[in-house]
Structure 1
Amino acid sequence: MLVEAAVPHILPENAFTTTVGEAAKAGVFAIWFFLIFRIGRTLRGLYGAQSAQYLELTPIWRILLDVTAAFVLAAFCFSVLYLYIGRLQGSAAFSADLNLGEALYFSIVTMTTTGYGDISPKSGLAKFLVSVQILFGFLYNVLFFSIFASFAGRRRPN
């Protein structure tokens, strides 16, 4: 599905492209698990019992890289979910037919709570996932990007 979404109607439908598409679906779920693991690890480091040691031993660039990578991975994974819902429900899911680029655009606009309104969810499942992404994006920004500045100030002097 991911291959078809990225390059529609260019690759022939055969066993190889079907296998690659199924592997891409498994890869997206693997990314979700990795994302959850990285977010959990960073949260334990920042808020855990040994947060001072974590901040002292972990370079600030590494924390910032983890936070940014998790944000980008989450936006990508939500865009793949939107593509999947669009394929399942057709034009009943969103106000526009989504390809990979439009789904990624919609995901980023949703996660940053910008909401231009050019693409909107129509079905119940799409509205639910968009709501989950809005809450995720808001909490992610509050937990990491807003609080990151205070932790950066506590790092050890060089």
Structure 2
Amino acid sequence: MTSRMRSWLRPVVPLLVGYSIFGLLVEAAVPRFLPENSLTTFVGEAAKAGVFAIWLYLIWRIAGTLQGIYGAGSARYLERTPIWRILMDVTAAYILAAFCFAVLYVYLVRHDANAFSTELNLGNAIYFSIVSMTTTGYGDISPRSGWAKFVVCLQIMFGFLYNVLFFSIFAGLAGQRRSN
């Protein structure tokens, strides 16, 4: 990627994430705290589009990190990229993925109130997303509908593979740096 594109993306991504969170909070506040009108509907729908863009960004960042670590120029990538930077990218992608799955759960509940064993607002969905992605699974919230079960299975597989893949890489990197 060119440095020009990187410099353009650097301020856009945090703005997109912030706007998406704001839009989802606005949507969650309707109709309890805010009136439902064209502005609140637009903000909520635009936030969902923002979350989709975040998904694309996540896929792009994860693919870039994998290419850097396993690709043809991996030695150069690992020499010029500090471990803290790789760790920060991987952690940020993990947190964003948990948030995006939470938004997906809220979206499922809005279309099917019985998709989960309890009503999911954004806060409960974030909790459930983290518990699912870490494969902790307390059992206080469970999926009921077919789509909800499918998405939860995807998240569990994503979380497991992400943990195995990236955190084993860090163990290897730490051992490699220590031996040098």
Q: 1:118 aligns with which of 140, 150, 172?
A: 140
Q: CA deviation at 1:138?
A: 0.2
Q: Alignment RMSD, CA only?
A: 1.7
Q: CA deviation at 1:146?
A: 2.4
- Name which of structure 1's ranges 145-154 and 55-64 shifts more when overlaid on structure 2: 145-154
The aligned counterpart of 2:38 is 15
Q: 1:88 aligns with which of 111, 125, 129?
A: 111
Q: CA deviation at 1:154?
A: 2.6
Equivalent residue runs for 1:2-151 within 5 Å: 2=24, 3-5=26-28, 7-8=29-30, 9-91=32-114, 93-151=115-173
Letter of the 2:149 counterpart: K
Whether the 8 Å CA contact 1:55–1:155 is kept in 2: the answer is no
Higher relative contact order (CA 8 A, sep 6+): 1
Q: CA deviation at 1:126?
A: 0.4
SS in 1 for 2:136: coil
Q: CA deviation at 1:114?
A: 0.2
**Percent of aligned pairs with the same residue?**
72
Instruction: Tell me the alpha carbon deviations over residues 18-72 of structure 1, each in whole angstroms, 9 at most, x when there is no partner.
Output: 1111110110001000000000000001111111111100011110010000000
- The count of residues paired between Structure 1 and Structure 2 equals 156
Distance in 2 of aligned mates of 1:116 and 1:46: 34
TM-score of the two chains, using structure 2 as the length reference: 0.82
The aligned counterpart of 2:12 is none
Distance in 2 of aligned mates of 1:100 and 1:58: 35
Segments of 5+ residues of structure 1 without an aligned counterpart are none
Segments of 5+ residues of structure 2 without an aligned counterpart are 1-22
